Homo-oligomer: A and B are copies of this chain.
Amino acid sequence: MVKHEELEGYVSQIHSAEQSPADIFVQAIEHLEPSELSLLLEALPIDERCQRWMQIPEELKAQVLVGMRYQARDVVISFLSSESLNMLLTGLDAESLIELSDNLTDDLINTAFRSLSLKEKELYRDASRFDPTAIGRYVDHQIITVPPNSKLKDVMLAIRRSGVEFIDHIYVVDRLGMYIGLLNLSYIFSETDEKTFIRGMIDSQVQAVKADTLLMEAADELEHSGLDSLPVVDEYNRLVGRITQRTALWIQKEALESRLMAQAGLKESADLFVPVWRGASSRAVWLGINLLTAFLASWTIGLFESVLSQVVALAVLMPVVASMGGISGTQTLTLIIRGIATGQVTFANALALAKQELGIAVINGVGWSVLIAVITYYWFGSLVIGVTIAIAVLLNIVIAALSGVYIPVVLDRLKIDPALSGAVILTTVTDVFGFLTFLGLGTLWLV
């Protein structure tokens, strides 16, 4: 995997106890960017994290806290005295307050809000109108707007006054703040006469993103637009800000990380170090669900107690049947879930995909089944057991392929996240079906 030498170096040094952690952290503050300090703090056990937090200069604290994941932030916030919490909150800007608001009680949000400047209060109110899942809440307010009757020199003046660092477009809005179109920066540079009216240069082809668009959809719109930013408008077509590639990156990273974590029943916000009771309870539900499915598999096996007591080889070989189904099904499932996430897999092409996966399943199923039969024959000296397991494995791989396609597609239709529950359901199907065919055939042929 990728090396992050600097960050890893500080993580290692703080844990190595050769030097005092406080001294090392002083160097870290000097050499790392605030977002790296957030990562470093997350990598420390709770006590250590809170001790090092106190070393962070006041002016960086808000930024470092915002850079941490939800759970890690919570740990720090709950450690703070009300005095230092107040100090931190009264120094926030609107954007940080929006980010932290999930971690704060209403009282604390009010405290922080009261200390915002008038301009920041307005930005906060604008953003907090929108849902935490809507792009409107996270738009970049660093935009430059001009009225449609401006001349080039007005635009230059607006740019100069704005202090905005990353400019690709200047937005044209009417008196009510409604979005009309945009000016490309390159047009502005290509025109040398300052007295030219901009009206002729306005590009009104670029569609603004609606502020209530879901985060991932907004990120996708930006990606497919081929532009570096898109304007965002509210329900009255008023320009509220823009979405940049930087925001899109943050959205995509969080979505993909959520998918990775969901597969293990974890949240994206999960922290490396939390109070153990909290950590245990956040994982307990997932274990409980999986325990249920394990008992279901056990119950299936229990139906065949008589054959198992007579032919112990069947008990010995059960993991092979379950594993081949589970693993091949998970391959299909993973491919399909990605397809659903990109909009490439729908109910309509599920049939075509099922055929494709069935073809692959039959080829691999036949190949591996024959090998498994041969190994089993030599191990237990029984041709019947060899044939039994071969058929069970083949059938299980076939069922796994179909389940791998249809389970996520149906879950998605039912608006259940297939990344979270797809694998549990799939392996339950392959376990139960695998044991049923294997032990069922065993009962028929071996008793």
Give me the interface of A with B, judged by CB distance under 8 Å: 1-4, 7-8, 11-16, 32-36, 39-40, 42-45, 156, 159-160, 163-168, 184-186, 189-190, 214, 216-217, 220, 223-226, 228, 244-246, 248-249, 252-253, 255-257, 259-261, 263-266, 270, 272-273, 276-277, 279-280, 283-284, 286-288, 290-291, 293-295, 297-298, 301-302, 305, 308-309, 312, 315-320, 322-324, 327-328, 330-331, 333-335, 338-349, 351-353, 356, 359-360, 363-364, 367-368, 371-372, 375, 412, 417-419, 431
Contact = CB atoms under 8 A, between A and B. Distances in A.
B328 A272 contact: no
B272 A344 contact: yes
A224 B35 CA distance: 6
Number of copies: 2
B265 A338 contact: no
B223 A35 contact: yes
A12 B225 CA distance: 22
A224 B168 contact: no
Nearest to A273: B356
Report which residue of A185, A297, A309, A315 has the largest number of chain B beta carbons within 10 angstroms of its beta carbon. Answer: A315
5 contacts: A1-B341, A260-B334, A263-B263, A272-B345, A302-B316
Contact of A343 (B11, B371, B412): B11
Contact of A368 (B8, B287, B320): B287
Report which residue of A33, A324, A343 has the largest number of chain B beta carbons within 10 angstroms of its beta carbon. Answer: A343
A224 B33 contact: yes
The secondary-structure label for the interface of chain A is: helix
A216 to B, nearest CB: 4
Contacts of A15: 346, 348-349, 351-352
Contact of A319 (B249, B261, B297, B349): B297
Nearest to A311: B309
Given A35-B223, A224-B35, A318 B316 contact: no
A364 B344 CA distance: 39
B295 A320 contact: yes
A272 B220 contact: no
A268 to B, nearest CB: 9
A98 to B, nearest CB: 18
Contact of A347 (B12, B39, B356): B12
B302 A2 contact: no
Contacts of A324: 287, 290-291, 294
Given A1-B340, A261-B338, A348 B165 contact: no
A11 B344 contact: yes
Contact of A257 (B286, B338, B412): B338
B286 A226 contact: no
